[in-house]
Amino acid sequence: MANENPFTITFGRQPNKLIMRYEDTDRIISTFCADNAVSQTFLIEGIRGSGKTVLMTTVANQLIDRKEWIIINLNPTMDLLSNLALRLDDACNSKSELLSKGFNVSAAGFGIGINADSRDNDYIGIIDRNFRKLKKKKRVLITIDEVQHDDNMRIFASQFQIFVRQDYPVFLIMTGLHDNISKIQNDPALTFLLRAPKIITGPLSMIQISRQYQEIFALDEEKGRELSNMTMGYAFAFQALGVAYWNHSAKNMDAVLDEYEDLLDDFVYKKIWTSLSTNEKRIVCAVSEDEVATGEICRRLSMTNGTFSRYREKLIEKGIAETRRYGYVSLTLPRLYEIARKYRI
């Protein structure tokens, strides 16, 4: 076993030990690197802790090693266009020229000001100038993690579409929860995003998870498979169970399970729970086995089939439930039922 814990529960940080989504990574990179890219945008959607940021970061890290790519990471809580202008200018080694013309940024990161009269001194003009300079030389990948549906995003996405129409070498990856991605795609001003390819971060490879646990903890195949099954392929669970098992090992599996549930609860499930409606919470607490018949859930909750169907679809869209076979419902997240029944509805 290694001397240092290789797992992490810090969101946004790429773990030392991760499970690669080879197909999704290759799909994005091959699309963006094609001579005639069929799409310049990818949306990555998934529940909290499902590996959206890791997938986006993996793509960015692979492209940054190629000399023809510039990677720009934007913060969705800051003004996106002005932030892009500043970072693109910096990447193009023209920051000193920009600042000499009176471009300034407030301490908060907002409110980029322009003092000169030239049209190219406004931030869209600055972006245009740099994209024209980069055309046929380099490509720019913009990444935005956990997007929100607000005026800031609406303005940025609308202008991004103009950049695409101008045939600029610019590409975009955005990650977000289902509700936020859906609202952005269905915004009347942003309907072009409905045509953008979308990747939903489902379960990781159970074979890869088992193999990683076997290698890290020097386990046999049966024990590695047992731990893998405990994660249900959920990305954060892979890291959380790794941390818990590292801390307690096989000597005390009760302690492993307790810490595992605590990590799921503290870092993810509390936030997921507060985002659910009352009826969604009731359905989650009714799925007490591996899978439960829809009729049985309706009986337990005194809920009509029509009402149940509406809320079931919402839980499926959010990545919390699934229907492995007709007429049955399962939860997709490990230990969710055991933890959720301790919450108040």
Does 141 lie in the same domain as 253?
Answer: no
pLDDT at 149: 94
Query: Is residue 71 within 8 Å of residue 141, measured between CB atoms?
Result: yes
Residue 299 belongs to some domain of the structure: yes
- Mean pLDDT for 46-63 is 95
Cβ neighbours of residue 250 closer than 8 Å, sequence gap 6 or more:
223
Tell me the residue type at 113. Answer: G
Average pLDDT, the chain: 88
* Residue 98: band (very low, low, confident or very high) from pLDDT cuts 50, 70, 90: very low
Percent of the chain beyond pLDDT 70?
A: 89
Does 73 lie in the same domain as 188?
Answer: yes
- Mean pLDDT for 97-112 is 47
Task: Count how many domains the chain has.
Answer: 3
pLDDT at 17: 72
- Mean pLDDT for 185-199 is 91
Alpha carbons 114 and 130: distance in angstroms, whole number: 17
Does 238 lie in the same domain as 212?
Answer: yes
Alpha carbons 206 and 9: distance in angstroms, whole number: 19
- Mean pLDDT for 55-78 is 94
Residue 90 belongs to some domain of the structure: yes
Does 266 lie in the same domain as 288?
Answer: no
pLDDT(141) > 80: yes
pLDDT at 123: 84
Alpha carbons 282 and 47: distance in angstroms, whole number: 19
pLDDT(251) > 80: no
Residue 11 belongs to some domain of the structure: no
Domain that holds residue 223: 206-273
Chosen domain end from 200, 219, 251: 200
Residue 77 belongs to some domain of the structure: yes
